[in-house]
Structure 1
C-alpha cells in the first residue's frame, strides 16, 4: 500500500519537474550559436586594381569630364585599395550588356566555394541542415537561390528555406533574426545562413552621379555560416547571440527613397544613393542605439548618462540668458557594455561618422577600415569580413562581447551583440595569409588612383576628349 501511495504522489511530481526542466532548457537554448563561418575570397584574377578600374571608367562612353572628375574624387576618398574583387563581366568588358546567366554564375562561384568549405570543416552534412536562410538583395531568380543551394547540396525535403531579397547591406542580421526566431520555438536546430550580393546585373553604365558612385564602393564577396542551438555543440561554437535589434524607417518617404535600385532617365539599371542618405542613416542609427543601449549597458552607465544629461540641459537653460554657449552633448559610453565594435564597411565616411558618434578610438575602427581597404563594401557580408579580421588578429577572447552595426536600404539600421564562447586562434580564416601586413598606415591606405589620373582635374570640360587609341598608364 505504501508503494502505491508513493507512486501516486511521485508521478505528478516527476511530470511537473520534467515540464519545468523542459521550460528552463528551452529558455536556455533559445539563442543560437555560430558554430563556424566562411568568408568568400575570389581568385586573384578577379582583383580590381587601379589600372583596370581606370580602364572600366574610361571605356564608359556615357561619361564626360565632369563625371570623370567626380569619380576620381570618389575613388580617392573611398578608402578602397587595389585588391578588392569585382564580377567577371567587368574583366570580360561586358558590364554594359549583362545577362541573367552572368549573375547566376557569379553566385555559383561563391556557393560552391564557401558553403563547400564550411561543410567540410565542420563535419556537418547538408542533410543535417534544418533551416536555410539566403539573403542576396539585388538578385531574385526563379527558382530561388535558396532552391539552388538545396539542389546543389541535395538537402532534405523538409528543410525550411527562406529567400530574402531587397534588404540591402543590413540583410545578414535579418537572416540571423530569422534563425533566432526559429530557435526560440525549436530545439536541436542546425541553420545555414548564406549572405552575399550580386553585382553583375547592377553594374551601372550611365552617367548619373548618384548612381555611378555605387560602382566605386561595392565589391564581390559573401559569407556562409552554420548556427545551432544544439546543447551538445555549445562547447564547439564560436559566438553566442545575446541580443538583436532592428530599426526600420520605411514609413518615412525621405528614408525610403534615399537608397534604391532603379533605372536612370535612359533606362540603365543601377543603384541610386541620394544626398539625404547620411541624414536617414543618422536617424535610424540614433533610434537603434536608444533601443539597444538599455539592454546591453550596465545600470551605472545608464544612471551616469541620465544624470549628466539632466545637468547639461539645466546648464543650457541657464546659459540662454548669458553669453556662454552652454554645456556640450552628453554621450553614452558603449565601451562599458561591449568590448569590440564590428562596423559595416559602407564607406570611409560611414566609418568616420560611427567613430565620432560612439567616441571610438582609431584602433577600435581599425578592423572596419582595413576590411574596406582590402575587400571593399561587400554589402550584407561585410560585417563578417570585419569579424574575421578581429579573429585573425587574435583580439577576441572568451567571454568578450562584440557589437555589430549595419545599415541598409529601406532605410534600416540593425545591430546585435555576440559573446565569444571559446578561445579563437584565427584558423581557416580569410585573412590568414596576409593579415600580418595589417594594419596599414595612412600612406599605405592612400589610393594610387590620384597619382595616375590626377591630370583629369586640370582639364577643361569644353575642350576635353580622349584619343581613340588612349592607353591607361601603368
Structure 2
C-alpha cells in the first residue's frame, strides 16, 4: 500500500535512535539488557528551500570587498596599451620632456596619486588579530560523573523518581562524559539553587581564572586593555560582570566596557563582532572578550521535563580572548579575523520562544527548551551558511551551488515533467571542507551534532573537536567554540594559512559564524585545558560508537539488526578500554577497520553477536597494542 505524501513528508522530518536503558532490575525480564526507540525531529535539509535573498546578501558582501581588486586589472591593461608601443628609452625621454615643460601636471599627478593611496589605506577596515585566548579549567573536586549527577539530584529531595529517571535517560544519550564540571552551589547546597552571592562566586572563579591565564600568556597588563566585552546569558547582577572584572584588575578609567545578557549560546561570536566594530573606531587598542555562563544560578529544581533538559547538558566553563588592531601584533598573533555572519530569527514567534526562561506551574524558574529546537535551529543555520557560502567557498563550489539553486526555483512547479522532477531532487550541498581546514561547531548536544554532520556531509574528523568537547566539558554555552579551538591546538592541527570556522547558535533564535585565518603554525600550548587528557582523545565510544556504526552505507538495517548493532556497541565500549591507549595516528587507523566488522555483524543472528564480540575484541586489542608499540 503506498504511503500518502503528507505522511511521507512527515516521516522525512523524523529520525529514530536506539537508547540503552540498562539492565532490567525486576519483572519477568530481570537481568536482561533493554532498549527503547526514540523518535525525534531531524534538522531540515539545509538547502531544500534556501531563500535567494540570503544568497544575494552573501554575494553583496563579496562584491563590496572585491571591487578594488576588480579595477586593478583594468587600470593595468589601459596603462599597458598606452605605453606598450614605446621602448624603454623613448618612454623615459617622453616623461623627461613632459616633466621639464609641464611641471605642474607632474606635481598634480603625483599629488592625486598620494591622495588616492592615503584614502584607500585610511578607509579600508583595520585588520583584527586574535593574539591569544584562554579557557578556564575548574578544579578536580568539581568533576561529576553522570552517576554522581543523578545522586546529587536524588539527595536534594527536589525530584521525584520519574524526573530522576528522565534525567538519567537524557544523560545516557547526551554525549557527555564522566569528567564534566558542576558548581559547588549544586554539589554542596541542600537547596540545589544558587543565591546571588553564590552566583557571583561562581562567575568570579571562572572569569578571573580565564583572565589570569590570558594575561600571563600574552604578557599584556590589564591597564593596557581599552575595550572589555563580557557575555553571560542567565546571570546578570548589578553592578555588572564587566564592572566586577574592572574592579578586580583595577583597569583604567576610560575603558569601553559592555555587558551582554540574555543572548544565549551564540553570544560569544556577537561579543567578538562588537569588539571588532569598536576596534575599527579606536586604533592601536586591545580588546578582551569574556564568554561564560553561570550554571548554578540556572539550576532548575522542578519536574517540568522541558526545563530539566538544561540541567543535564549545561556545565561550567569560561573563555577569555585578546583581540588587537595594532600592526605590531601581526607577528605574534595566532589568527586574523576574516568574516562574521550573523543571523537572527527573532521576528518569528516560534523561534523567539523555542528557548525561553520562565516559571513553571509551581513558580520555579527555569530555562524551557522547546521540542521544535532542532527544526528551528536548522532554519537559522540554513540562512546563515547560505549567506556565508559566497564569502568562503571556492568559485567552482559557488557555481555548482548557485546553478542548482536557481534551477530549483525556476522549475519548482508541481508537474511531473523532467524539469519538475529534477528540481525536487536533493540540492547540491557545497563541500565546506574546501573552504575550511578547522571546524568548531557549538557542542550543544549529540543529537544536534549528528544532524548537522549528516546535512552538511562533514567527516568524523571535521566533527572531532565538537564531539570531544561535548564529552569532556559538556555544553559550556558560548565558550564551547573556544574549548574546541583549544582542542585543535592541543592536537597541533592548525597550520599556517588554515581557515577555522566557528559556528554557534542559541536563544532568540540566533545562528552566527566567524572565520579565522591562522597566521602561523600553532604548536601545542604550554597552557591548555586539554593537556592533562589529550592523549585519551579522540575517545573510542564517541568516534566509533553507535552514532558512527549506524552510518555504514549500503546496508539494510531492520529493527532486529538495530538492536543487535546497539548491543555490539555497548559491549565494545564497556570491554575495550580505548581511553587507556595512546591515540596516535597508527592506532586510529587500526580502529577504522571496525567498519568492515560492522558489515559482518549485521549479517549475524543475535545469538552469535556475543561470540563475535569476543573474537573482535581479542584481535583488535592485539592490533592496537602492536600499533602503538606496546
* TM-score interval (norm. to shorter): 0.7 to 0.9
Superposed counterparts of 1:389-408, under 5 Å: 389-408=487-506
How many pairs does the alignment contain?
444
Distance 1:93 1:49 in 2: 18
2:338 is equivalent to residue 242 of structure 1: yes
| 1:288 match: secondary structure | helix
Aligned match for 1:221, one of 317, 320, 324? 317
Deviation at 1:306? 2.6
Deviation at 1:61? 3.2
Q: Aligned residue for 1:360?
A: 458
Q: Aligned residue for 1:162?
A: 258
Distance 1:346 1:318 in 2: 38
Deviation at 1:91? 1.9
Distance 2:243 2:186 in 1: 27
Q: Aligned residue for 2:510?
A: 412
Greater Rg over alpha carbons, structure: 2
Q: Aligned residue for 1:437?
A: 536
Aligned match for 1:331, one of 424, 429, 445? 429
Q: Aligned residue for 1:17?
A: 114
Report the CA distance shift for 1:318/1:198 in structure 2 as closer, same or farther (over 3 A): closer
Report the CA distance shift for 1:393/1:66 in structure 2 as closer, same or farther (over 3 A): same
Q: Normalising by the residue count of structure 2, what TM-score does the alignment of the two structures yield? A: 0.66
Which segment drifts farther, 363-372 or 435-444? 435-444
Instruction: Mark the runs of 5 or more structure 2 residues left unpaired by the alignment.
Output: 1-101, 547-569, 572-630
Aligned match for 2:284, one of 188, 193, 198? 188
Q: 1:138, 1:166 within 8 Å by CA — same for their partners in 2?
A: yes
2:151 is equivalent to residue 55 of structure 1: yes
Report the CA distance shift for 1:225/1:258 in structure 2 as closer, same or farther (over 3 A): same
Deviation at 1:327? 3.1
Report the CA distance shift for 1:8/1:319 in structure 2 as closer, same or farther (over 3 A): closer
Q: CA-to-partner distance for each residue in 1:73-96, whole Å, 9 max, x for gaps?
A: 111000001110011112213453
Q: Aligned residue for 1:288?
A: 384
Report the CA distance shift for 1:8/1:142 in structure 2 as closer, same or farther (over 3 A): farther
Aligned match for 1:254, one of 345, 350, 359? 350
Q: 1:95, 1:203 within 8 Å by CA — same for their partners in 2?
A: no
Distance 1:303 1:12 in 2: 41
Aligned match for 1:307, one of 389, 403, 410? 403
Superposed counterparts of 1:69-218, under 5 Å: 69-218=165-314
Distance 1:179 1:201 in 2: 27
Which segment drifts farther, 68-77 or 18-27? 18-27
**Structure number with higher relative contact order (C-alpha < 8 Å, ≥ 6 residues apart):** 1
Q: Aligned residue for 2:471?
A: 373
Report the CA distance shift for 1:274/1:383 in structure 2 as closer, same or farther (over 3 A): same
| 1:235 match: secondary structure | coil
Report the CA distance shift for 1:306/1:18 in structure 2 as closer, same or farther (over 3 A): closer
Distance 1:21 1:88 in 2: 57
| 1:331 match: secondary structure | coil
Deviation at 1:121? 1.8
Q: 1:31, 1:180 within 8 Å by CA — same for their partners in 2?
A: no
| 1:236 match: secondary structure | coil
Q: CA-to-partner distance for each residue in 1:250-291, whole Å, 9 max, x for gaps?
A: 111100111022211111111110111111101111111111
Deviation at 1:23? 4.1
Deviation at 1:239? 0.9
Deviation at 1:340? 1.7
Q: Aligned residue for 2:594?
A: none
Report the CA distance shift for 1:26/1:116 in structure 2 as closer, same or farther (over 3 A): farther
Which segment drifts farther, 284-293 or 369-378? 284-293
Q: Aligned residue for 1:456?
A: none
Deviation at 1:225? 1.1
Q: Normalising by the residue count of structure 1, what TM-score does the alignment of the two structures yield? A: 0.87
Report the CA distance shift for 1:94/1:303 in structure 2 as closer, same or farther (over 3 A): same
Q: 1:308, 1:330 within 8 Å by CA — same for their partners in 2?
A: yes
Q: Aligned residue for 1:387?
A: 485
Distance 1:258 1:316 in 2: 31
Instruction: Mark the runs of 5 or more structure 1 residues left unpaired by the alignment.
Output: 452-474
Q: Aligned residue for 1:276?
A: 372
Deviation at 1:320? 2.8
Q: Aligned residue for 2:136?
A: 40
Q: Which runs of 4+ in 1 moved over 4 A?
A: 5-16, 309-319, 443-447
Q: CA-to-partner distance for each residue in 1:338-386, whole Å, 9 max, x for gaps?
A: 2221100000011112111210011110110000000000000000000
Q: Aligned residue for 2:442?
A: 344
Q: 1:83, 1:375 within 8 Å by CA — same for their partners in 2?
A: yes
Deviation at 1:305? 1.7
| 1:260 match: secondary structure | strand
Q: 1:95, 1:200 within 8 Å by CA — same for their partners in 2?
A: no
Report the CA distance shift for 1:54/1:445 in structure 2 as closer, same or farther (over 3 A): farther
Distance 1:119 1:14 in 2: 45
Report the CA distance shift for 1:314/1:246 in structure 2 as closer, same or farther (over 3 A): closer
| 2:287 match: secondary structure | strand
Q: Aligned residue for 1:457?
A: none
Distance 1:215 1:91 in 2: 13
